[in-house]
Amino acid sequence: MADSIVASLSSLSISSASTISHAAPTAEASWASQLPKGVLATKTLLFKPKTAKSAAVKPVLVVALDSTDVGSSGVLAKEIGIKEMRAAGDDVWQEWFGAAKETASPLSLSSKSAPEGSHPVTLVLDSAIPKLPSDAKLAFHAPGSQTESITIPASDFSKFIESHKIETQPVDFVELKTKTPAAATKPAAGAAPAKSAAAASGSKASAKIEDAELIGITVRKGGDFPEWYQQVLRKGDMLDYYDVSGCYILKPWSYSVWEAITKFFDSEIKKLGVQNCYFPMFVSSDVLEREKDHIEGFAPEVAWVTRAGKSELERPVAIRPTSETVMYPYYAKWIQSHRDLPLKLNQWNSVVRWEFKHPQPFLRTREFLWQEGHTAHISLAEADKEVRQILDLYRRVYEDLLAVPVVPGVKSEKEKFAGGYYTTTVEGFVPTTGRGIQGGTSHCLGQNFSKMFNISVEDPAAAEGKRGTAEGRLFVWQNSWGLSTRTIGVMVMVHGDDKGLVMPPRVSQIQLVVVPCGITARTTQEERTKIEDACADAEKELLAAGVRAKADLRESYSPGYKFNDWEMRGVPIRMEIGPKDLQNKSRMLVRRDDGTKTSQPAEGIAQHVLQLLDTIHHDMFKRADDEYRSHRKVVTQWSDFTTELNKKNHVVIPWCEVEACEDAIKDRSARVAEQGAEQEAADERAPSMGAKSLCIPFDQDQFGDVKGKKCPQCGVDAKRWTMFGRSY
């Protein structure tokens, strides 16, 4: 069937059509996601206008980009001057397309083309399609097939329409959406970044966003946040979906962020005397289950290897979900004397937690990359000190590399690591949803594990008579600490905007892209070469100065296409070089984070760029920090607690630190949320979640004196200011 269509198109001198095969769409990976880069999925809708019985029925065929939100049929009907219409039934689809609606395509219409006069359907064409770049390809379903599609260049689709003499009415659905009553009642969320508000006001800026939506991100961050997140990651080239559920491919654009984090963190922990090692990924069930309390939390998520080749293993082995029980039997063996302390090991590896909850790229995946540090110390004081040193490195990863503000603090008893002594954390914040996110944790395990695994040394402080006795033994003090690729997800959620990713300069694989501009049909070859050479030279000069620069000299892509492409990937600075810039010996620099555009002398540009990258980092951090701070509300009355929570804030209260009170806070805030559930539509996946304690911030002074204050939930004397919120 697909072949016959290609053949018939060929007869219309559309020779560029071809059939491609791909995986069948799944619940997680849509048809669109199965298509190659540069090939855009379409959708085909069919409506029957409600007419008087006697009148001839001219069905309305809608062809739009799959990513376009076509809104309600009522609004569309009004737009195209039809009083009322409704979706066509299966019989109509079969009649006109010979296929069920899921796999029908307008290309099948060829068999229905009228030899003379106009075609018996009206075509409503998504106005985004004619605006596509000339090398964009459209994909249509091969009739009846889930795994084959027909692709043709967008420009050839109009050829197809013309040759079939189909009456066509273009509709700008983006504009149409602003006309819908729903749009008026759904304002941008209060928490939306300032820049999208700005974008909505300036008409030029808002047009730009519409342009971007053609091949770019099709939903607003403040609108459908989960969809936005997925689009930004995929279109920003961070990852690809994978055919094992809950696993994702980290493409170079995201992996390079992880490399920047590892490089920084690894060199810092080595300064602290930490050494890297590698323990096997497999754990025997004996060892895994040795510490019952600890493993209880992990057991339901442990993946088991039971077979090798065709042999059933006599004893299945687990894949590590974390390495405490993997490593500590060896610590017991290696640590024999106080001279073997401190023992500070770290490994960079992946761990597997086969969660059955909804997976979320970077935030909740079945395999993830991380580092896990495991150290043993002679005293609690020494362990304490390291816990904080590591936590501060985590803070620096977020703040100094990713430009993401975090609040360092200690977890409540309820939220600490199972089996540990206490847990410190850096807590992040996603303004769009108002939810907190645990950024990284540094645990003091106390002596719990050392007693379990018998990791002990002769106490150098013990009296001579006690040496060599059980009494003279000292169980070591242990820490464990981990930071994962979740960092990348937080970075994306905090900084990304309606155009896509916004990369913090210090971790962006490319910090500046050079795009040749102003080349038109009238440009001479000599002028063209001059511009392109200037771009290549700029790249060279910047690379030499330590700027990760790239000249985008791809042919057959317009500057506009390139702008979009790099904006989606979030490259911090775009440098434009055109004839005027050459003439003026200047370079145009455009910041991704705030869109500002300045012309700079070409002379000394590298130094200027280095400074600008630093400025961008600080501005990005400041914006995110201001926003986080504005969403951190100090509350002393219970009545204000849920009100502020429902405004997507974190709430800081003078808290009693009683576990039962924490449970009560969660229950009461969840119940209130349910009543106001419709206000929560922005993030469907956290509709009525209760608040939990996120951390007890180390910086208590900023909130004033807690003495004499009562816990707003239970009225008991407050101990410390504690930050509560909904969270990931």
Smallest distance, a copy of itself to C-beta of residue 294, A: 16
Closest distance to a copy of itself from the beta carbon of 299 (Å): 6
Query: Phi-psi region for residue 441, left (φ > 0), alpha (ψ -120 to 50) or beta?
Result: beta
- Sequence-distant (≥ 6) Cβ neighbours of residue 354 within 8 angstroms: 246, 301, 302, 303, 366
| Residues of this chain, 231-250, that bind a copy of itself according to CB under 8 A | 240, 242-244, 247-250
Nearer to a copy of itself, 166 or 332 (CB): 332
Q: How far is the CB of 398 from a copy of itself (least distance, A)?
A: 21
Cα separation values, 144 from 24, 99, 198, Å: 12, 6, 45
CA dist 144 and 2 (Å) reads 9
- Residue 277 lies near a copy of itself (rule: CB under 8 A): yes
Residue 279 is a binding residue for a copy of itself (CB under 8 A) = yes
Q: For residue 47, which phi and psi values (nearest 5 degrees)?
A: -125, 150
| Cis amide prior to 342 (ω within 30 degrees) | yes
Minimum CB distance to a copy of itself smaller for 313 or for 677: 313
Please report how close the Cβ of residue 576 comes to a copy of itself at its closest, in angstroms: 21
x-or-dash string of contact with a copy of itself, 650-689, rule CB under 8 A: ----------------------------------------
Work out whether 210 is an interface residue with a copy of itself (CB under 8 A): no
Place of tokens 């739009």: 64
The whole-angstrom separation of Cα 278 and Cα 276 is 7
Rg (CA), the chain: 30
Q: Does 452 bind a copy of itself (CB under 8 A)?
A: no
# residues near a copy of itself by CB under 8 A = 79
- Pair of tokens at residue 432: 């769009």
Q: Does 302 bind a copy of itself (CB under 8 A)?
A: yes
Stretch that binds a copy of itself, among 89-97, 284-292, 411-419, 443-451 (CB under 8 A): 284-292
Q: Which residue has the tokens 């654009």?
A: 253
Least CB distance to a copy of itself at residue 516 (A): 16
- The footprint of a copy of itself on residues 136-155 (CB under 8 A) is none
Specify which residues 515 forms β-bridges with: 576
Q: Report the half-sphere exposure of 239 (CA within 13 A, side-chain side).
A: 24
Strands (E), 142-194: 148-153, 167-171
Q: Does 73 bind a copy of itself (CB under 8 A)?
A: no
Residue type, 558: S
**Minimum Å distance from CB 245 to a copy of itself?**
10
Alpha carbon distances (Å) from 380 to 81, 275, 471, 723: 77, 21, 18, 26
Q: Site for a copy of itself (CB under 8 A): which residue of 5, 17, 189, 410? A: 17
Count Cβ atoms within 10 A of the Cβ of residue 636 and give its class: 0-12 exposed, 13-18 middle, 19 or more buried. middle
- The encoded tokens of residue 456 equal 């002990």
Residues in 308-367 that interact with a copy of itself by CB under 8 A: 308-311, 316-317, 319, 329-330, 332-334, 336-337, 339-340, 345, 349-350, 352, 354, 356, 366-367
Q: Tell whether residue 255 is a contact of a copy of itself (CB under 8 A).
A: yes
Q: Which is nearer to a copy of itself, 330 or 422 (CB)?
A: 330
* 283 near a copy of itself, judged by CB under 8 A: yes
Q: Is residue 37 involved in binding a copy of itself (CB under 8 A)?
A: yes
Q: Is 286 in the site for a copy of itself (CB under 8 A)?
A: yes
304 binding a copy of itself? (CB under 8 A): yes
Residue 448 binding a copy of itself, by CB under 8 A = no
Closest distance to a copy of itself from the beta carbon of 1 (Å): 18
Q: Which SS3 state, helix, strand or coil, does residue 154 take?
A: helix
Least Å distance, CB 555 to a copy of itself, is 8
Q: Is 284 in the site for a copy of itself (CB under 8 A)?
A: yes
Shortest distance, position 320 Cβ to a copy of itself, whole Å = 11
- Contact by Cβ (8 Å): 320, 281: yes
Smallest distance, a copy of itself to C-beta of residue 232, A: 18
Segment interacting with a copy of itself (CB under 8 A) among 167-175, 300-308, 393-401, 613-621 = 300-308
Torsion of Cα atoms, 79 then 81 then 87 then 90, to 10°: -130
**Mapping DSSP to helix (H, G, I), strand (E, B) and coil, where does residue 656 land?**
coil
Nearer to a copy of itself, 307 or 629 (CB): 307
* Segment holding 537, helix H or strand E: helix 525-544
In the stretch 504-543, what mask flags binding to a copy of itself with x, by CB under 8 A? -----x----------------------------------
Give the x/- contact pattern for a copy of itself in 456-475, rule: CB under 8 A.
-----------xxx------
Residue linked to tokens 């009456």: 167
Tell me the C-alpha to C-alpha distance, in Å, between residue 78 and each of 46, 72, 176, 593: 16, 10, 10, 39
Compose the 38-67 pattern: x for residues touching a copy of itself by CB under 8 A, - for all others.
xx----------------------------
What tokens were used for 549? 């620069």
36: contact with a copy of itself by CB under 8 A: yes
Running DSSP on this structure, what letter comes out for residue 102? Answer: G
278 touches a copy of itself by CB under 8 A: yes
Check: CB of residue 599 under 8 Å from CB of residue 587. yes
Report the alpha-carbon distance of residue 216 to residue 133 in Å, rounded.
12
Task: Report the C-alpha gap between 440 and 391 in whole angstroms.
Answer: 8
Q: For residues 148 and 172, which CB has a smaller minimum distance to a copy of itself in the complex?
A: 148
Among 11, 15, 147, 599, binds a copy of itself (CB under 8 A): 15
| End-to-end Cα separation, the chain, in angstroms | 47
